[in-house]
Structure 1
Amino acid sequence: MLIQMVSINVKPGHVEEFIDAFRINYEGTRKEPGNLRFDVLRDPDDETRFVIYEVFTSAEALDDHRKTEHYRECVRRIDPILTGPRTKTYFNVEMADFLTTG
């Protein structure tokens, strides 16, 4: 498994536009066979700051995700309303069985 966390900062006044555009990616990604989880998190103290938590079965599944039309359309729509580039952090799951079985 591969986890990707994407930090996104939206320009003030564009939050609803961001949410509408990002819904395209959210709905499409959750249907991908290689996606296990996709959460859109918003900072409770700053409505323009988001973190996207994504879990994929593999690095290949993440690469396939980036080739989808819903991903490309979302990026096309959100890039002009961000304060800067999206930042991405990756994690491997080391103890999935431990976490699910205690």
Structure 2
Amino acid sequence: MILIVVKFPVRPEFADRWPELVSEFTTAVRAEPGNVMFEWSRSVDEPDSYVLVEGFADAEAGATHTSSAHFRKAIDEMPDWVAGTPSIMYVDSADLAGWGPMAEVQPRG
């Protein structure tokens, strides 16, 4: 699985609207074959930043994603909305398959 985490510093005037601005892109990516996850979260420490966690089954699914029309459209639009260059972490590991349970924290009762 390919796991990608991207931190987007968003211009303050677009921060509250970010989920709306990326909604079409998000829906399209989630429908891609081989997409395992595509989840946005707003940073608690930096409220004008959003963190994207995305996962793809394999390199082929990742290549399909980056060659899609909706990816190219988002890459064309996002420079108008970001305050700086996004930061990225990329992990390609056969040991990953998606979300798994965290052993250290379990609900009580």
TM-score, scaled relative to structure 2: 0.78
The 1:12–1:93 alpha-carbon spacing in structure 2 relative to 1, beyond 3 Å, is farther
**Runs of 4+ off more than 2 Å:** 16-21, 44-47, 92-96
CA–CA distance in structure 1, aligned partners of residues 24 and 86 of structure 2:
17
Equivalent position of 2:66 in the other structure: 66
Largest Rg, 1 or 2: 2
Matched, 1:35 2:29: no
Q: Is the 8 A contact 2:9 2:84 kept in 1?
A: yes
1: CA distance, partners of 2:94 / 2:42: 23
Match status 1:85 vs 2:94: no
5 Å-filtered alignment, 1:10-21, equals 10-21=10-21
Report the Cα distance in structure 2 between the residues aligned to 1:45 and 1:8, rounded to whole angstroms: 13
Which segment is superposed worse, 32-41 or 82-91?
82-91
1:80 Cα deviation (Å)? 1.5
The answer for unaligned runs of 5 or more in structure 1 is none
Contact in 2 for aligned 1:3/1:93 (Cα 8 Å): no
Normalising by structure 1, report the TM-score: 0.83
Alpha carbons of 1:95 and 1:11: their partners in 2 closer, same or farther (altered >3 Å)? closer
Shift of 1:95: 5.5
Q: 1:80 to 1:18 in 2, by over 3 A?
A: same
The percentage of counterpart residues that share the same residue type is: 24
Q: Aligned pair count?
A: 100
